[in-house]
Amino acid sequence: MGKVGRPRNQTARREALVLAAGRAIAERGLEGLRIKDIADAAGVSQGSVLYYYPELDDLVLEVHREAVESFLSARQKAYDDAPAADPAGRLRALLAGGLPDGTEDEVHGLLYELHRRAGRSPGHAELMTSLYAREVALYTTALEVGSATGVFTLAAGAQELAQGLVAMEDGYGLHIISRNAALDPDKARRMILAHARAVTGCAAL
């Protein structure tokens, strides 16, 4: 029986370390990240962190992977929870979750911080590319369904418009996280919604 329980314990410990590392990165940034910070956040010794993740980069990559999956799951759930018979409502649900709530938004802040590794690490680049592709796919589906049901009159191809919406979210989100006083979350959402109404011809947005 002991052998059956051990993998579960190890999995739980790894998950706890990933969560702790995510908190440490959100608080200190990648440049100042230390094993001690992760150990303190997890309530374990530095040796325990190194036992499960001998290479800090492997732990950071796991944090990035978990952040991407968590963010995408939340966006997919928002879309799925909106009524299927209301394409405009489903698109609004997607648009509502694409921007940081403010400068201290932990999820978006963590993603932006981790994306900085993409230029130096194939693993991080792959995660960033995957996040973009899957967000574009979500928007493409929402736009195609709206077009097929006659609710939207698309100004261009669904995928092209989807790419534009994701790029707008990324750009505005970076300014919000970076404390650009000229762009708060509410203003950014209004501008994206106005763009969405223009390219879908749907006043209900």
> Hey, what are 153's tokens?
């009159």
> Tens-of-pLDDT digits for all 205 residues of the chain?
344 444 457 888 899 999 999 988 888 888 878 999 899 989 999 999 999 999 999 999 999 999 999 999 999 999 999 999 999 999 999 999 999 998 888 889 899 999 988 988 999 999 999 999 999 999 999 999 999 999 999 999 999 999 999 999 999 999 999 999 999 999 999 999 999 999 999 999 9
Asked whether 136 and 81 are in contact (CB, 8 A), the reply is no
Q: Is 195 exposed, middle or buried (0-12, 13-18, 19+ CB in 10 A)?
A: middle
Output the pTM of the full model.
0.88
